[in-house]
Amino acid sequence: MILEQINPQLLSLAEETDVVLKDIYKKIDTICLSNSNRILSAFIENRVSYSDFSDINGYGNYDEGRDKLEKIFATVLGCEDALVRPQIMSGTNAIYLALSALLKHGDTMISLSGAPYDSLQEMIGIIGHSSQSLKANGVHYEQIELIDDDFDDERIIERLKENNVKLVEIQRSRGYSHRKSLSISKIERIISKIREVNQDVIIMVDNCYGEIVETREPGHVGADVVVGSLMKNLGGGIAPTGGYVAGNHELIQMVAERLTAPGIGKSLGANFNLNNAFFKGLFMAPNAVKNALKTAVFTSYILEKLGYSNISPRYDEPRTDIIQTLELKTKENLVNFTQGIQQTSPIDSFVRVLPAPMPGYPFDEVMAAGSFTQGSTIELSADAPVIEPYTLYMQGGLTFEYGKLSILLALTNMKRKLD
């Protein structure tokens, strides 16, 4: 039994958290209630019916369930329209789909949050030699670095006054960088300032890991396009694949035509009998995100008490995504902790995690991902590049109880191998 394997001192520390973190957990519960209210209201308003779960195959003509699902996603994300499809296989795929639809030869895009995370760099053409990168297809790329984990307002505004930029992109989550994730209030501020000097530039937000962590989404504060994966927050741990692109109606039609074909747009696309899972995943998403956040807060507090200082966010800091970073100081700590997470996973608990190459990433990686859906990061997972300062990126946890057990055993595993 797992509880019997956990270090007694860690169990005592875990009991302490129930009292110390009570008010923080209550705030998370309040946000969950607000987002649940928005989602349930959207279900009722759109008259979701059991018939909307019908398996539509072939071309996917006249799928009323799919159309309702996309209306609900648009409402939840504060947007006019949405494209929610199993044919979008990941967050990276959703981002590439949107960018390749909206940017043509000679256009310029700017990342307003510095370098994008590793798996997007070859897609853009920053690294590699893909003939399908944006750069290879004539798109000009620039980036403006963050200053103290916030936008460089002055430089962004001066650049956009030139009126020769087609699209700006904001990566809400930190990715594999050491900067903090960007809150909705910060995104709202920079969008407002951009609109004062440039009405035409497309503002796109990579929303991965951030959905329904706060009570508002980027669409509520003026983003034109919002993209993400259903194997993260909005899939609720139930959607087995899929992604979304939401935003301005005209722009979503362009993205849909890129996915299917000009003249077809959103009209086609078989649901592969996944409508039920997509509806149910969205319905359960606020609770899954709530548990992921509590697991992250718990982990942050425990590690701080154990003497690990470089933890972000700290347990009492506001959160805008589900990612928790843990600087574990040594390669051994990194591997041992990751192995502990894998050992307490419901799937593949017997797999021994070791550093290994991973497609799309420049360094060896360690990854614990014993999830029901391969690659699902709303389920508890942990991964890291095996380079100094050996920072682990942890996210997810479908229930707080399972999250606690996994974290405590991972820390026991790390402590045992150091003693």
User: Are the C-beta atoms of residues 134 and 123 closer than 8 Å to each other?
Assistant: yes
**How far is 288 from 300, CA to CA, in rounded Å?**
18
- Domain spans of the chain? 2-35+285-418, 49-282
The set of long-range contacts for 19-28, using a CB threshold of 8 Å and a minimum separation of 24, is: 20/301, 21/297, 21/298, 21/301, 21/315, 24/297, 24/315, 24/316, 25/294, 25/297, 28/290, 28/293, 28/294, 28/297
- What is the distance, to the nearest Å, from the Cα of residue 396 to the centroid of all Cα atoms in its chain? 10
- Report angle CA 240, 177, 387 to the nearest 5 degrees: 95
Q: What are phi and psi of 171, to 5 degrees?
A: -95, 110
Task: Please report, in tens digits, the pLDDT of each residue of the chain (419 residues total).
Answer: 888 889 999 999 999 998 999 999 999 999 999 999 999 999 999 999 999 999 999 999 999 999 999 999 999 999 999 999 999 999 999 999 999 999 999 999 999 999 998 778 999 999 988 999 999 999 999 999 999 999 999 999 999 999 999 999 999 998 777 889 999 999 999 999 999 999 999 999 999 999 999 999 999 999 999 999 999 999 999 999 999 999 999 999 999 999 999 999 999 999 999 999 999 999 999 999 999 999 999 999 999 999 888 899 999 999 999 999 999 889 998 998 899 899 889 999 999 999 988 776 778 899 998 899 988 999 999 999 899 889 999 999 999 999 999 999 889 987 776 55
CATH of domain 2-35+285-418: 3.90.1150.60
Residue 241 gets which letter from DSSP?
A: S
Give the N- to C-terminal CA distance of the chain in Å, as an integer: 22
Torsion of CA 7, 372, 173, 362, to 10 degrees: 90
What pLDDT was estimated at residue 363?
83
**How far is 399 from 380, CA to CA, in rounded Å?**
9
What pLDDT was estimated at residue 418?
57
What pLDDT was estimated at residue 417?
65
What pLDDT was estimated at residue 186?
98
What pLDDT was estimated at residue 378?
95
CATH 3.40.50.12780 matches 49-282: no
Q: How many residues does the chain have?
A: 419
In the block, residue with structure tokens 């798109």: 139
Q: What is the pTM of this model?
A: 0.95
What pLDDT was estimated at residue 101?
98
